[in-house]
Chains A and B, each alone.
Chain A
Amino acid sequence: MAFKEPVEKYNNSITEVSISDLKVGGQSVLTGIYSFDGPVPNPPKIAMEVLDVKPEEWPQTLVDAVGDVYDDPVKWALKCQNEFKADMICLSLVSTDPNGMNRSAEEAAKTAKAVLDAINIPLIVYGSLNSEKDGEVMKAVGEACHGKVILLGPADDENYRTVGGASLGYQHKVAAASPIDVNLAKQLNILLGNLGVPLESIVIDPTTGGLGYGIEYTFSVMQRIRLAALAQGDDKLKSPFINMIGKEAWKAREAKISESEEPSFGNLATRGILWEAITAINLLIAGSDIMVLRHPESVKLVRSFMNEFFK
């Protein structure tokens, strides 16, 4: 008896979102790598994360890989674009954190604009994850970057009016972040919709748990959102996903602790890179459309894995 391939293609598709000249979403299959189930018009993208200040407390593995550009976001972004072949840049404005350096929204906007002008790939700008300040910062960033389309975020249930407003006012796209929950993700998309932000402007940040630190929750929530979108046709959940992978993966003790402190764990560089790459592969399987990574080697690994599906 011949084996009949049980292909699964849905009647619904993920909303296509254009960020500058790059598109994400649009597929009618469960994840961006299921090209054997049906066409994937826009294969998943790899963004590389650039911080707006010299990173403190970064594991040496990462510092070494990024090299001497990590105190200059423009050079750093260019290196990610030219040398590491990132599809996008994700600028994290960590210096705006009111509990940290507390840089002003205007200063942050200047950095964002400088990076945007220097690169020729699309830009994502993320705040410091302080809801109130992020609203203020995104307004300034949105204005400064007006004229080109970038992805702003994260908007959450507290600041969605200001971040959504910045997206509406300056024609940017917005990442809507909710804490690992199907209903909250949907709710936020509805709130943004009420504000006038169309679904074509929204990607979902489902909140990412790193490998060993809650990835299974993110994995299952993403799969449930995808099934709701594709199998049940829930319009409000058809958004593409963005996952802040590098940030979470490199927090893990296992990605940072030296071999001399934990001899049984083996080589630190291998371990750290794989920690990030394996976090990414799991979320790719769960449906990620934009994976934000930090280490050029894990970028290469994820790319090699993914490319096979689009030969």
Chain B
Amino acid sequence: MGLTGIQIYKLLPQTNCKECGEPTCLAFAMKLAAGKADISLCPYVSEDAKAKLSEATAPPIREFTIGTGTNAVKVGGETVMFRHEKTFFNPTPVAVMIKDTESDDVVASKLERIKSICFERVGKKLCVDMVALKNESGDKAKFMTLLEKASAIDKPMIIMTDNLETLKESAEKYKDKRPILYAATSANADEVAKIASATGLPVVAKGNGLDEVSSVTAKLASAGIKDIAIDSSAKNIKDAVKDNVFARRASIKQKIKEVGYPTFVVVNEITQDPMLEAVIAAGLISQYAGIVVISDPDPAKILPITVSRMNVFTDPQRPMVVEQGIYPINNPDENSPVIITVNFALTYFIVSAEIEASRVPCWLMIMDTEGLSVLTAWSAGKFVADAMAAYVKKTDITQKVKHRKIIIPGYVAQLSGEFQEELGEGWEVQIGPREAADLPKFLKMWKL
């Protein structure tokens, strides 16, 4: 729970020395409470006060990083039950499991796919984020060989073994890559805590249900371990959804610390059906899962799972935008129609999909309207005749096409006259359909 300005003030030196840039300690405290300043600006605050402050401002679900470098993933850190309340912050990483009992060929091909599957959407990359390595054989040497191979693709690793010695050895060997250790249980929590604190690595606390999980996290926490994910070992869809919902409610609404961690779900232990596995993974991502593990690095599954994740984790306050520019669709040439619309990502997706489906080659001009949709951009004065004409003139569209015809969305038909005037002699503004769904028909009938 956040502290009030007065509560924070009591933790400050109260000397009003002004070094933080504020006239008084109280003013600084108020800024801190509003999240508009950082405690590090006060050079005189005690370590004890700092710890109290950071604990009070920490999100109800622990946030930490797994892996290193550009492929590292951040998990946890969520603060709300519903995305419309604020937003969800850290997109759930998708891990693919490889067992050390799988043949060399399977391992090689899986690793290759885990490494290479990556889609780009609105400037964001959608990939397989992690690799979960399981010591199914129980054999240490086999497992170490698998880790060796997997470490080469440089994705954050989940080290899954029941054998404490194997866990210790692999943790020490790969600690610089910051893998997460799986798992601490009621039976071994003390020993696993030792390995985690010696290596500084995050760890998964596993138990049967959230009750047992809570006792494991309590043990880990008392041993000083902070970076924890929780696995309630759900074996069916209902329990998996229930545990994720309950853990989120308990941590956010009731501030129950024992479950205030990102959840960890091994989806391939819930189902053996590879299609259902993908559906469950996507469902759990929308239902608060912190990390999901699946078995199958199939691009036809990863694409819908990660697009679903992207949608749910989109900040509702900030519309997704695409870059301003001229997008060629279906290989257009100098005689192809030119369409202009806004840079709201959804508009772009829907319009470009319809154009593509029509198979009519087109030039799609996307204008920066700060992510507003056609009608809102028009009423906000951003998608209006003079701004549009200025944009069109700035581009090299007249070098791409011989004609001077431009199609505007049907919803802004009223600005066609003014737009034509602004564009000047020779231009013809044409009114397109209101709904993107009617574009294919419109385009098929379009003649130069």
Q: Taking beta carbons and an 8 Å cutoff, which residues of A are in contact with B?
A: 1-6, 8, 33-36, 57, 99, 209, 211-217, 219-220, 223-224, 227, 251-254, 256-257, 264-268, 270-271, 273-275, 277-278, 281-282, 284-285, 297, 301-302, 304-305, 308-309, 311
Contacts and interface: CB of A to CB of B under 8 A. Distances in A.
B59 to A, nearest CB: 18
B438 A251 contact: no
Given A212-B307, A216-B311, A282-B286, A99 B84 contact: no
B437 to A, nearest CB: 8
B211 A212 contact: no
Interface in B280-300: 280, 282-283, 286-287, 298-300
Contacts of B278: 274, 278
A224 B316 CA distance: 13
Given A217-B346, A282-B286, 5 more contacts: A1-B214, A267-B298, A282-B282, A282-B308, A305-B283
B312 A216 contact: yes
B246 to A, nearest CB: 6
B282 A281 contact: yes
A62 to B, nearest CB: 14
A194 B202 CA distance: 59
Contacts, number: 162
Contacts of A252: 353
B245 interface: yes
B331 interface: no
B311 A301 contact: no
Nearest to A212: B307
Given A251-B353, A254-B303, A285-B283, A3 B211 contact: yes
B138 interface: no
Interface stretch (B71-79, B139-147, B247-255): B247-255
B283 A282 contact: yes
A297 B275 CA distance: 10
30 contacts: A1-B214, A2-B211, A3-B211, A3-B259, A6-B250, A36-B245, A212-B349, A216-B83, A216-B314, A216-B316, A224-B82, A224-B84, A251-B353, A264-B117, A266-B300, A267-B298, A267-B300, A268-B300, A270-B301, A271-B300, A271-B304, A277-B275, A278-B283, A278-B305, A281-B279, A281-B286, A304-B276, A305-B276, A305-B279, A308-B236
Contact of A223 (B82, B256, B308, B437): B82
A309 B237 contact: yes
Contacts of A267: 298, 300
B218 interface: yes
Interface of B: 82-84, 117, 119, 121, 209-211, 213-215, 218, 236-238, 241-242, 245-246, 249-250, 253-254, 256, 258-259, 273, 275-276, 278-280, 282-283, 286-287, 298-305, 307-308, 310-312, 314, 316, 346, 349-350, 352-353, 356-357, 437-438, 441
B318 to A, nearest CB: 12
A214 B320 CA distance: 11
Contact of B283 (A35, A211, A281): A281
A190 to B, nearest CB: 23
Q: Which of A34, A219, A251, A274 has the most CB of B within 10 A?
A: A274
Contacts of B210: 3, 5
Contacts of A271: 300-301, 303-304
A266 B117 CA distance: 10
Q: For A6, A36, A304, which residue has the most chain B Cβ atoms within 10 angstroms?
A: A6
B303 A266 contact: yes
Given A3-B211, A220-B83, A266-B300, A285 B287 contact: yes
A227 B441 CA distance: 40
B76 to A, nearest CB: 18
Contacts of A227: 82
A265 B84 contact: no
Contacts of B83: 216, 219-220, 223
B307 A211 contact: yes
A308 B239 CA distance: 9
B117 to A, nearest CB: 8
A274 to B, nearest CB: 4
B406 to A, nearest CB: 24
A264 B299 contact: yes
Contacts of B286: 219, 281-282, 285
Contacts of B302: 266
A57 B287 CA distance: 35
Contacts of B301: 266, 270-271, 274
